[in-house]
């Protein structure tokens, strides 16, 4: 379960460490760790303190500012990882070039998702005119072999008052 957590929670400001630690506590909890296991692994005073950390996170009391600080820390970690793999990835003589290039691309994709760097998909909405719709209907009618314009039967009915 230790692979679920960010082991390097000591870098950054105290608030960064606290939020990252709470996120790690939640990750371990969701993976099935007991409150006591979470507390022991992440250095909380007791199981209740660990539970309180992930409950605050789930309750949304972690501010957007807190999340942004953690996001910046994570981006710096991704930069560090990319630097470690970069030379292998661009060296055609390196036997690990293929796997290193895949690793660098994976890191770049993660950074783009985390920071919202990918351009949004362009969606174009087209609203046809009444004339275009009628032309399309006529085309369908001709394909279906309908040649004459038939008026629908109009049926007259008496209204019934349901309140009586």
Could you give the dihedral angle defined by the CA atoms of residues 64, 77, 37 and 59, in that order, rounded to the nearest 10 degrees?
A: 10
Joined together, the tokens standing for residue 15 give: 């608030």
| pLDDT tens-place string over residues 74-94 | 899 899 999 999 999 999 999
Tell whether 163 is covered by a domain.
no
Same domain, 40 and 58: yes
pLDDT at residue number 10 = 39
Tell me how many domains the chain contains. Answer: 2
Asked whether residue 3 is domain-assigned, the answer is yes
**Most confident segment among 23-37, 63-77, 94-108, 150-164:** 94-108
* Same domain flag for 34 and 84: no
Cα separation, 160 vs 56, whole angstroms? 60
Residue 101: which domain range? Answer: 68-118
- Residues 27-55 pLDDT 10s: 888 888 999 999 999 999 999 999 998 88
Burial of 1-11, coded b for 16+ CB within 10 Å and e otherwise, reads eeeebeeebee
For residues 39 and 91, state if they share a domain: no
The pLDDT value given to residue 50? 92
> Which pTM value belongs to this model?
0.43
């Amino acid at each position: 379960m230790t692979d679920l957590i960010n082991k390097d929670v000591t870098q950054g400001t105290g608030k960064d460490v606290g939020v990252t630690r709470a996120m790690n506590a939640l990750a371990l909890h969701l993976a099935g760790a007991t409150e006591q296991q979470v507390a022991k692994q992440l250095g909380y005073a007791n199981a209740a303190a660990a539970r309180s950390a992930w409950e605050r996170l789930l309750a949304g009391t972690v501010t957007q500012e807190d999340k942004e600080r953690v996001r910046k820390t994570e981006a710096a970690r991704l930069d560090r990882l990319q630097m470690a793999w970069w030379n292998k990835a661009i060296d055609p003589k390196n036997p690990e070039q293929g796997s290193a290039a895949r690793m660098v691309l994976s890191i770049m994709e993660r950074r783009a998702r985390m920071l919202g760097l990918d351009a949004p998909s362009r969606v174009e909405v087209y609203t046809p005119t009444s004339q275009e719709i009628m032309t399309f209907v006529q085309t369908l009618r001709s394909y279906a072999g309908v040649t004459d314009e038939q008026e629908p039967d109009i049926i007259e009915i008496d209204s019934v008052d349901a309140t009586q």
